[in-house]
Amino acid sequence: MLYSPAPLHIPDGFLSFIVSAICWAISAMVLSVAISRTNKSLGEKQVPLMGVMAAFIFAAQMINFPVAGGTSGHLLGGALAAIVLGPWPAMVVMTAVIAVQSLLFQDGGLLVMGATILNMGLITSVIGYGLYRAVFGRSRRVKLVVAGFAAWLSVMAGALATALQLWLSGTSNLQTVTLTMLGVHALIGIGEALITVAALTFILQTRPGLIGEGSAAARGGRGWALAGIALSLMVVLLSPFASANPDGLERVATDLGFINRGQSAVYNILPDYTLPILGQTPLSTIMAGVIGMLVVLAFALLAGRSLQKKS
């Protein structure tokens, strides 16, 4: 069978009722805006275009490439959809894809579908499109590199959101689940970034009018850039907090009444991931996170440059 399940699809039973309900509420609110916006911009063409594009994302997830040792990478598609279709349509399209994966293939639960939509459809669209929107008017190389970084970060953001939901449901230990989720998806995200950049390069070469500035897909306002950057910063700030300094977040969650039984740390996977100059402060972990992100961005820049040379 060609269809391969993605690791961000949470099955039923792993999120508590209250967390599932809150995620459904958020997703439903955002989606209702997304539906009315796409309806306004596309009119009656909305259904056939969005429907076939949803089938495209579904089918594109089957295009795999061998990585190493029998494993293979494939696309998740949130960022790519947001860049080629625009953010609101991408949200609707990703929702349809997630709904079919869950209903037809049981890849992801029904009660937790609100959370899956939030993690894989909404957050990925905002980050994917927002960061890309922020560099409109720049050279093609900059846009492609940022698109790759946005694709990587959107996967990381989805992973972080999943980890936080699992922890709030009392299903996982915060530090362990964040570290594993982010660790695994840092690699998956690189595949996502490479495929997204290559797909965009191809589309820009063959049909530049389709996704360039002024096209239907690029109608999102500057607010998207702000939203994308804000959400990305949240991911960058929250990740080191959750993985290296979980106590603060745990206290907040206990105060809010999410978790009533305190969970102790399992073990320390990494020696505290801080900067020696700043000592053991939250600021230090945040700085460590930011520096980590910059290293990855630099890596993406280099990769983008070599891609540009070859193609």
Backbone angles phi, psi at 2, to 5 degrees: -75, -30
> Is residue 66 a contact residue for other proteins (CB under 8 A)?
yes
Residues in Cβ contact with 141 at an 8 Å cutoff, skipping those fewer than 6 apart:
304, 305, 308
Q: Which is nearer to other proteins, 297 or 303 (CB)?
A: 303
> Given candidates 82, 92, 115, 131, which one binds other proteins under the rule CB under 8 A?
92
Distance of closest approach, residue 259 Cβ to other proteins, in angstroms: 10
Helices (H), the chain: 17-42, 46-60, 78-85, 87-105, 113-117, 123-134, 140-168, 174-206, 208-211, 222-244, 246-255, 282-310
Token output for 11 = 């099955």
> Is residue 280 a contact residue for other proteins (CB under 8 A)?
no
> Given candidates 24, 26, 55, 219, which one binds other proteins under the rule CB under 8 A?
55
Region 156-215 residues binding other proteins, contact defined as CB under 8 A: 166, 170-173, 176-177, 191, 194-203, 206-207, 210
> Given candidates 4, 25, 45, 142, which one binds other proteins under the rule CB under 8 A?
45
> Given candidates 6, 16, 123, 236, which one binds other proteins under the rule CB under 8 A?
16
CA distances (Å), origin 36, targets 7, 30, 130, 168: 31, 10, 20, 32
Distance of closest approach, residue 84 Cβ to other proteins, in angstroms: 6
> Given candidates 6, 23, 50, 79, which one binds other proteins under the rule CB under 8 A?
50
- Only one of the segments 131-139, 219-227, 260-268, 291-299 lies at the binding site for other proteins (rule: CB under 8 A); that segment is 260-268
152 close to 192: Cβ distance less than 8 angstroms: yes
Q: Which is nearer to other proteins, 92 or 127 (CB)?
A: 92
Token output for 262 = 């305190």
- Only one of the segments 125-133, 152-160, 236-244, 256-264 lies at the binding site for other proteins (rule: CB under 8 A); that segment is 256-264
Token output for 36 = 């009315």
> Given candidates 100, 186, 278, 287, which one binds other proteins under the rule CB under 8 A?
100
Helices (H), 207-221: 208-211
